[in-house]
A and B are shown apart, each in its own frame.
Chain A
Amino acid sequence: MKILFLETLTASKLGASLGDAGHRLTLVTDQKAALAALTSDAFQAVIISVRNGNEAATAVLNEVRKNASLAHLYVIALVQECGEDYLLRVHEAGADASLRYPCARAVLLAQLKSAQRFVKPLQEESVDGKSAAAATTPLEQINQSKTWRTAQANLQSTASKFLTLEVAPAEIGTVTEPIAYACTIGLSNVQHQLEMRIALGADAASGKHLAVHLFGPEGTDLIPDMLGELANNMMGTLKTSLSGESLAFTAGLPQPIETHEVLRPSVIYAHQIAFALRMADAAVLIHVSIRSKANLFVRPGGLREGMILAKDLFNARGLLILHGGTRLSLNMIEKIGGILPDKLQVEVVTP
């Protein structure tokens, strides 16, 4: 595994010994170097040695956990002289596992071996930023591309230019207002059967604040347009950075959607990023997702008229509900909704 070891204890021998076990180790000794390494290189796991009251370690953990592009990292806290309270804080800050230091090298190696079950294979990237690893499908190629991993930063920059405001990334949880306005826009690639979606949501106060800022006092009537135009700009950014001449806007214009669909689209997408962008007195929620259009997994509540069942659909007892290939009518959708539990997914082919 490729591991970043933030070493603030005297455990360097332990850290160095991981290399002997076949792991690729980058050793850093302070918070700043750790964050720099995480943003400039791709890792699979992070080991952070922490001592009671060591705020640098928890600060790194906080940074890792609020950065969507680092969400895959498996974090092990190596704790020394820590009471239960501090240990609890370390886990609350985002550590996946903890070990008491001093610990045997074998124990740490066993922990890393166990972590491999949760860690995605590392995709090496060539210098021009294009994926050099064995991405076999167009969906995987996009998911592994630098564009996807840096989507949040790109969209932040786009929002900042469009809104002519300083825009900072924020955690979704920090935006507490209910969403009042929501829209989505999509790109599709017919050849590779890919679809990309950006959904935006804003609470009433944020929407008003931003629209008035852009359009003046009359702007309050233009909140949906403002949000739609922002979505349009963001999708344009992604399209450009994906070099996707073959990517076309699905419908051309952003569409209004139900507010709850910003973060919970009725169709299941393969890869998703969700975050918030915060400006002075305003915040916008963003949900970016990509999927292969070849097969969709849809909750019963998300089925739409015209979708085609990819396979025979059975209930839990094994009894047929509908044959594969059936084009769904409203009656059929109602019937499925009355039989299948909400959490089950139905495999469909989009029309």
Chain B
Amino acid sequence: MATAELSEERVRRLREIIMDEAVCRIAGGVGNLPTLPATYNALCRATADPATRTADITKIIETDPAISVRLLQLVNSAFFGAAQRTSSIPRAVNIMGTNLLKSLVLSAHMCNALELAPTRSFSMSRYQNYSMGVAKLARTFAGSRGFADEAFTAGIVLGIGQVVFALRSPKEFEQVLERVADTGEMQHRVEKEILGASHAETGAFILSTWGIPFPIVECVAFQFRPGEVGPGNGELLAIVHTANALSGIILCREPEEQLDLKFLERTGLIGELPRWRAVAEEAFQALT
């Protein structure tokens, strides 16, 4: 993986963040936390096998009704720009592609988990649309850099820590959301104050226990403070961070300061920012 060289220092910094006492208190241990979906494991095994055919992937998807429904919803959405609606799982699998399917499985699994513990102050459907927008932007920004699918997946799972909060500390999470609603403070800062950790490191923790690839876990962990990542190639993190920050700035009128310009300079991507901003503005034009 060219995007995140696994230097000892880099692994150490990630471990330091996600093995924080508060994170372990909230996300550690067992009980009412989603486990890595079996469908995801099956998909990973299937896609690693060069002999796998679309029909095999289709069989895996069809065993999971929730994923099947979500897949059809997504391929029929404006996001994929399908010319005609389809209700065929094999066709939907072809449209989506296997790598994106894995992201979808993670996303749908996360959302299903939260639906079991609904939080009044959080709209999962809104969040799903938002994360899909971030994922799409991240993939566009990555372009031909060779990690477009990882960028997409990272975009999808950036907010997974919120599911952990909703399931493990629902009262405190509700308190966080109420305060964000009242004061307009940045959510991750209020989470840190009330819960002791933000959804970034908490999400990274749960993803690491699921065995999700290191670069994606790193993107989630450092999404709000990319400058703290260890040395080495930080392009993937920079791209995912920028996609998320620009989406917040454009769609939620969040402050510009959350975009870490120094980190973009460090990764040599600062020159791309004007173009990326234009792409994001165009992508969200219909909404703004």
- Residue B210 lies at the interface, judged by CB distance under 8 Å to chain A: no
B142 to A: closest C-beta gap in Å? 22
Question: How many interface residues does B have (CB within 8 Å)?
Answer: 29
- Residue A13 lies at the interface, judged by CB distance under 8 Å to chain B: no
Contact of A316 among B122, B130, B286 (CB under 8 A): B130
With A316-B130, A320-B178 as known contacts, state yes or no: A339 contacts B252, CB within 8 Å: yes
With A335-B184, A343-B286, A344-B287 as known contacts, state yes or no: A317 contacts B127, CB within 8 Å: yes
Task: Report how far A112 CA is from B253 CA in the complex, Å.
Answer: 44
Task: Report how far A315 CA is from B133 CA in the complex, Å.
Answer: 14
* Across-interface contacts of A338 in B (CB, < 8 A): 184, 253
Closest to A322 in B: B181
- Residue A319 lies at the interface, judged by CB distance under 8 Å to chain B: yes
With A338-B253, A341-B287, A343-B288 as known contacts, state yes or no: A316 contacts B120, CB within 8 Å: no
Q: Is the CB of B252 within 8 A of A317?
A: yes
Q: Is the CB of B247 within 8 A of A316?
A: yes
Contact of A320 among B129, B133, B177 (CB under 8 A): B177
Contact of A341 among B126, B127, B133, B251 (CB under 8 A): B251
B64 to A: closest C-beta gap in Å? 24
* Across-interface contacts of A341 in B (CB, < 8 A): 250-251, 253, 284, 287-288
Closest to B126 in A: A318
Q: Is the CB of A314 within 8 A of B288?
A: no
Within 8 A of B (CB), among A324-346: 335, 338-344
- Residue B39 lies at the interface, judged by CB distance under 8 Å to chain A: no
Task: Report how far A314 CA is from B159 CA in the complex, Å.
Answer: 16
Interface size class of A (residues with CB under 8 A): 10 to 19
- Residue B123 lies at the interface, judged by CB distance under 8 Å to chain A: yes
| Proximity string of chain B (103-130) to chain A, C-beta cutoff 8 Å, 1 when within and 0 when not | 0000000000000000011111111111
* Across-interface contacts of B258 in A (CB, < 8 A): none
Q: Is the CB of B181 within 8 A of A316?
A: no
* Across-interface contacts of B90 in A (CB, < 8 A): none
Closest to B180 in A: A319
Task: Report how far A339 CA is from B252 CA in the complex, Å.
Answer: 5
* Across-interface contacts of B288 in A (CB, < 8 A): 341-343
Task: Report how far A63 CA is from B287 CA in the complex, Å.
Answer: 34
Within 8 A of A (CB), among B250-288: 250-253, 284, 286-288
* Across-interface contacts of A317 in B (CB, < 8 A): 126-127, 130, 159, 187, 248, 251-252
Q: Is the CB of A319 within 8 A of B187?
A: yes
Q: Is the CB of A343 within 8 A of B122?
A: no
Q: Is the CB of A312 within 8 A of B251?
A: no
- Residue A321 lies at the interface, judged by CB distance under 8 Å to chain B: yes
Task: Report how far A249 CA is from B122 CA in the complex, Å.
Answer: 41
Within 8 A of A (CB), among B211-245: none
User: Can you identify 26 A-B contacts, CB atoms within 8 angstroms?
Assistant: A312-B123, A314-B122, A314-B123, A316-B129, A316-B130, A316-B247, A316-B251, A317-B126, A317-B159, A318-B122, A318-B124, A319-B122, A319-B177, A319-B181, A319-B187, A320-B123, A320-B181, A335-B184, A339-B252, A341-B250, A341-B287, A341-B288, A342-B288, A343-B286, A343-B287, A344-B287
A residues adjacent to B (C-beta < 8 A): 312, 314-322, 335, 338-344
Which 3 residue pairs are nearest across A and B when measured between Cβ atoms?
A318-B127, A316-B251, A318-B126
